[in-house]
Copies of this chain bind each other. A is one copy, B any other.
Amino acid sequence: MTRSDSLKLHADRLFPHDKHVRGIARNLYAAIKQLPIISPHGHTDPRWFAYNEPFGNATDLLIKPDHYVFRMLYSQGIPLEALGIQGAKGIVTEQDPRKIWSLFAKHYYLFRGTPSRIWLDTVFHDVFGLRVALNEANANHYYDHITELLATDAYRPRELLNRFNIELIATTEAALDTLDHHQAMQSTPMQGRVITSFRPDDVVDASRHDFVENILKLAELTGQDTQSWLGYLQALRLRRAFFQSMGATATDHGHPTARTANLSQAQCEALFKQCISGQSTDEQQELFRAQMLTELAGMSIEDGMVMQIHPGAFRNHNPTVFQNFGRDKGADLPIQTEYVHALKPLLDKYGNHPKLSIILFTLDETSYARELAPLAGHYSCLKLGPAWWFHDSPEGMLRFRHQVTETAGFYNTVGFNDDTRAFLSIPARHDVARRIDCRFLAELIAQHRITEEEGYELAHDLSYTLAKKAYKLDK
């Protein structure tokens, strides 16, 4: 593993094999590769853009926050301690960032064939100008080179935002977040360019250990009586309005399932009371989340915010990792997810409302052709988010297009989301999506199913226009 291969990013990477089709894909891509990036859903830190401070060292920026990276390393027996992941009290972790980088470099071969490999190589090559592939022998060189550049002004967050040609980026904040960093961006060039999204799981998911407390905090923040069902709903409306004032055009809901409900007001009041008592059962919590998706859809009709539903993750599957290192440490797992029955209560109530717009995501690809494309191919309020998380790979993106387009077409989809914490990888991720979409379109053209002219229009729509429209960023 100590060869020193040169690091090249081939101009035709990810394109189809066949020369003729590759040629079509190349032309389509040439026409759209320079389009600005719209990043309407992600998890970058608003602090970066608010204060524009330098990022720190290579390890802190590229390894420690990237659960794709340490998940793979952990799966091959490397303890999170050795990767310097911040642990609970008493967990002793490696403090030397250089040593951690070296461990990562030694195991970089594990990422062969994964999207992380593409993203990281693109970052190394395009962002840091490296021309030798990472390996154990050149780990120090890599670490120094990257860390030095990160200390320069050209690598500060706002400069990278420009260099990356990011027209707009949305972060994601919880309902109780006071959005200080977004407030700090108002009246700066970041206003309207870095926006927030409203993710109220913290005050909707009664299975959280801090739920009862969060409902009290919600009262403080809004001045509403959040011990009453109607006061609670009103408090949510106020938070939504506040998030909108910080640019938000969308809400986000990361529920374990896609279940929705449509209970009577009396049932809602009783269920809410049970949930805020801290004594609710699993089923009551699930039902409350289900009811809340319907309530939130109603609020979306009121205030025009687009609703994103991201269901189907079993979070924190590994109790030891959760206890020692907390959330988002690579131990989240996709589970089978049903949509047709689950969404019916919400759709029965609001499904034909012209003002409602819901973007559905899935971690269960079996639902693409079976449930999601048929749902989005009928209900005007439903659109499909792109291949997500575990499926955010060249193969996963192709499966998405191949299984969704036949029933939902292109115009019931919403362009690409990077959904990432890894700011530096954003151009690489959008580039993969653009290449794969051009590949898919080139196949349709080569099979004489659409004309080349249509291909160019679609490439533009998929790379740019659809995202702006779906997230109401074109107003």
Interface residues of A (CB under 8 A from B): 3, 5, 8-10, 12-21, 71-72, 74-77, 109-115, 117-118, 133, 314, 317-321, 330-336, 338, 340-341, 344, 347-348, 351-352, 354, 363-366, 369-371, 373-380, 382, 390-391, 393-396, 402-403, 405-412, 443-444, 446-451, 453-454, 458
Complex: A395 Cα to B365 Cα, angstroms: 15
B447 near A394: Cβ-Cβ < 8 Å? yes
Knowing A74-B380, A319-B348, A333-B378 are in contact, say whether A14-B406 is a contact too (CB < 8 A).
no
Complex: A102 Cα to B448 Cα, angstroms: 25
Knowing A20-B17, A111-B409, A340-B335 are in contact, say whether A448-B12 is a contact too (CB < 8 A).
yes
**Can you name the residue of chain B whose Cβ is closest to the Cβ of A16?**
B17
Complex: A467 Cα to B375 Cα, angstroms: 32
Residues of B within 8 A of A336 (CB): 338, 366, 370
Residues of B within 8 A of A369 (CB): 334, 365, 390-391, 396
What are 14 contact pairs spanning A and B, CB under 8 A? A72-B409, A75-B377, A75-B382, A110-B409, A110-B411, A114-B409, A314-B340, A317-B347, A318-B347, A330-B378, A332-B374, A333-B340, A334-B340, A374-B390
A378 near B10: Cβ-Cβ < 8 Å? no
The number of times this chain is found in the oligomer is: 3
Complex: A403 Cα to B396 Cα, angstroms: 8
**Can you name the residue of chain B whose Cβ is closest to the Cβ of A111?**
B409
Interface centre among A109, A363, A450 (most CB of B within 10 A): A109
Complex: A346 Cα to B335 Cα, angstroms: 18
B76 near A412: Cβ-Cβ < 8 Å? yes
Complex: A197 Cα to B344 Cα, angstroms: 33
Complex: A402 Cα to B345 Cα, angstroms: 36
Complex: A318 Cα to B341 Cα, angstroms: 11
A75 near B449: Cβ-Cβ < 8 Å? no
Complex: A376 Cα to B72 Cα, angstroms: 9
B376 near A365: Cβ-Cβ < 8 Å? no
A406 near B113: Cβ-Cβ < 8 Å? yes
**Can you name the residue of chain B whose Cβ is closest to the Cβ of A444?**
B113
